[in-house]
Amino acid sequence: MDLLEEYIKSGRIKLNTHKYHEAYTVHDPCNYVRKSQMAFGQSTADQSRWIAQQCIDPSLYREMCEDSMNNLCCGAGGGAWAMPYDDERLAYGKMKADQIKDTGAEIVVAPCHNCRDQIMKALPKVHDMGNYKETLYLWELVSLCLDFEPWSEAEIEAGHAARDAQFERDGVELEEEE
Amino acid sequence: MPEEAVKEIKVDRKHRKIGNIAPELADRCYTCGTCAGGCPATGLVPGWDPRKAIRAIVLGMEQEVIDSKWPWVCTLCGRCQYQCPMGIQLMRTFRTCRTLRERDKVPGPIHKGTMMNLQRGNNLGIPRDDFLFLLAELGVEMENDEEQPTPGFYVPVDKEGANIIVTINSKEPFGEPDDMKFWWKIFYAAKEDWTVSSTNWEGVNWGLFSGDDPSMKEQVARVIENARRLKCKTILYPE
C-alpha cells in the first residue's frame, strides 16, 4: 500500500476517476490494520481509504466502521478460509455482511486476498448485503482505473530483448502467435 | 456453603504446556467478558468463547481448549486482545493452542500446504516449469490485450538488481491467474523495475496460521534469501 500511495503521490501512475459512479466502502483487514498496529505501530486504514478515494469520487465513499481498529474480521481470517468449518465461517461473516449492507455501498474494496474471497465468493450467497454488487481488491481498483500510455518504441524493444534473453535462459518456449 | 462442598482446583503451573502465558493470565484475568462480548465468534462453538477458553487455560484445562474447535474457528482477528483491559494476550494464546495441536490433526489443508511449501517452494506444489510457462503466457496475453494492450510487457523472472521483488499468492497461478495482471499493469504504467523469483515465490505463510513457528520462519527466510540472491532492495507482498 505504501507503494501504491507513492506511485499516486509522485505521479508515476495516473488514475481515471470517472470509471466508477457507484457508492463504495473499504474493508479493514485485521492483519494490516489492527494486528499491524499492535505489532508494528502502523495501520493501513487511512492509506487504503485514501487510495480508494483517488479512484472513485470521495463523495461516493461510505464508511463501514468509524473506528478501524475495532472493525470486524471478514470471518475467513487466520486460515479459516481453508478450514473445514464452513458453517461457522459463514455465520461469523454475517456481521461483516450486515456492516456492508448498512453502508448502502455497491462496491466493497478489500485490501487483502483472503478477505476478498470471503466477501466476494461466500457472503453474498448466504447473507442479505443490500445494495452490494461487487468486491474489488484495492490494487484491482487502482489497476482498472489506470490511465497510461503504451511504452515508447525504444522501451518496447528493450522489453522484448530482455524477455527473449530470459526465455532463452529459462528454456521457456511459447507457441508462435497466429 | 458447607466446607466439604468446596472443591479445591489444583493447577500444576510448573508443567504448563502454554509456556509462561498461563500464570500471567491467572493473576490478571478479571473475567469481565469484554473479549467474549466483542468477539464475532462467540456462540459459534458450543461451550466456548474467548473468556471461557482463557478461564479453562487458567484452571489447567488447556488440553480441552487445544482439542476443541475453538482456536480454529477463532480467526485470530485480535479484537479481544486489543480490547482486553488487563492486557492479556488472547490472540497469542489461541495461536499457541494451535501450535500444540498434533500436526496430523490440524484441520484442513494448512499443515499439508506448509509441508508442501517446504518441499516444493509453494503451498500448492506448482512445478517451476509450469509456473514459468504460465508467467510467460500471461505476459504475452497482456501485451496483446484488446482493450488495454501493454506493448513491451513481460514478467521479469530472477532479474538481478531489480528494485522490487514480488511474492505470489499461489491461489492465483493455481486458479485465478488473470488476477496477477492487476499488479503487473500497475508496474507497467509506473515503469517499475521489478522481478519474481523462479523458486520459493510463495507469499502465503500458512505456518503462521497452523501455529508452526519453525516452518513460518523458514518461509520468511526463503523470501529474504531470494531478495539477497537477486540483490533486490524491496520485498513486496502484493496485498
CATH number at residue A63: 3.40.50
Q: By the 8 A CB rule, do B42 and B50 touch? A: yes
Mean per-residue pLDDT over chain B, rounded? 92
Of the candidates A69, A95, A93, A99, the one whose C-alpha atom is nearest the C-alpha of residue A81 is A93
pLDDT value for B239:
85
Which candidate from A70, A91, A171 shows the least CB-CB separation from B44? A91
Q: Helix, strand or coil for residue B168?
A: strand
Tell me whether B87 touches chain A (CB under 8 Å): no
Instruction: Give the span between the Cα atoms of A62 and A27, in whole angstroms.
Output: 11
Residue ranges matching CATH 1.10.1060.10 in chain B: 11-101
Tell me whether B23 touches chain A (CB under 8 Å): no
What are the tens digits of pLDDT across the range A11-25?
999 999 999 999 999
pTM of the full predicted structure?
A: 0.93
| CATH number 1.10.1060.10 given to B11-101 | yes
Strand partners, A94: none
ipTM exceeding 0.85? yes
DSSP one-letter string for B39-88: -TTTTTSTT--HHHHHHHHHTT-HHHHHHSSHHHHS----HHHHH-TT--
Residue A54: pLDDT over 90: yes
Q: Tell me which chain A residues have a C-beta less than 8 angstroms from the C-beta of B201.
A: none
Q: By the 8 A CB rule, do B100 and B18 touch? A: yes
Which residue, among B84, B186, B208, would best test binding to A if mutated, counting the most A CBs under 10 Å from its CB?
B186
How far does CA A39 lie from the centroid of its chain?
A: 22
Tell me which residue has cell 465513499.
A61
The whole-number average pLDDT for the span A27-45 is 97
Instruction: Give the span between the Cα atoms of B200 and B75, in whole angstroms.
Output: 26
- By residue count, chain A amounts to 178
Number of domains making up chain A: 1
Residue B17: pLDDT over 80: no
Phi-psi region of A41 (alpha: psi -120 to 50; beta: other; left: phi over 0): left
A53 CA to chain B: closest CA distance, Å?
17
pLDDT value for A178:
43
Residue A97: pLDDT over 90: yes
Instruction: Give the span between the Cα atoms of B161 and A31, in whole angstroms.
Output: 30
Interchain contact, A32 vs B239, CB within 8 Å? yes
Interchain contact, A150 vs B191, CB within 8 Å? no
Residue B21 C-alpha cell reads as: 502465558
Is residue A66 included in any domain, yes or no?
A: yes
Residue B27: pLDDT over 90: no
Which amino acid type is present at position A74?
A: C
DSSP one-letter string for A108-129: EEESSHHHHHIIIIIHHHHS--
Cβ-proximal residues to B54 (8 Å cutoff; 6+ apart), any chain: B25, B29, B35, B88, B90, B93
The domain in which residue A50 lies consists of 2-148
Q: By the 8 A CB rule, do B195 and B159 touch? A: yes
Tell me which residue has cell 500444576.
B12
C-alpha distances in Å from residue B29, one per residue of A125, A146, B94, B118, B213: 39, 51, 15, 39, 27
| pLDDT band with cut points at 50, 70 and 90 for residue A177 | low
Q: By the 8 A CB rule, do B52 and A85 touch? A: no
Which residue, among B44, B49, B77, would best test binding to A if mutated, counting the most A CBs under 10 Å from its CB?
B77
Instruction: Give the span between the Cα atoms of B86 and B32, in whole angstroms.
Output: 10
The whole-number average pLDDT for the span A86-98 is 97
Q: Tell me which chain A residues have a C-beta less than 8 angstroms from the C-beta of B152.
A: 150-151, 155-160
pLDDT value for B60:
82
The whole-number average pLDDT for the span A106-129 is 98
Which candidate from B77, B157, B239 shows the least CB-CB separation from A112? B239
- Phi, psi dihedrals of residue B194, rounded to the nearest 5°: -135, 170
The whole-number average pLDDT for the span A91-115 is 97
Q: Tell me which chain B residues have a C-beta less than 8 angstroms from the C-beta of A113.
A: 169, 171, 204, 239
Instruction: Give the span between the Cα atoms of A123 and A86, in whole angstroms.
Output: 11
Q: Tell me which chain A residues have a C-beta less than 8 angstroms from the C-beta of B108.
A: 79, 82-84
Is residue A169 included in any domain, yes or no?
A: no
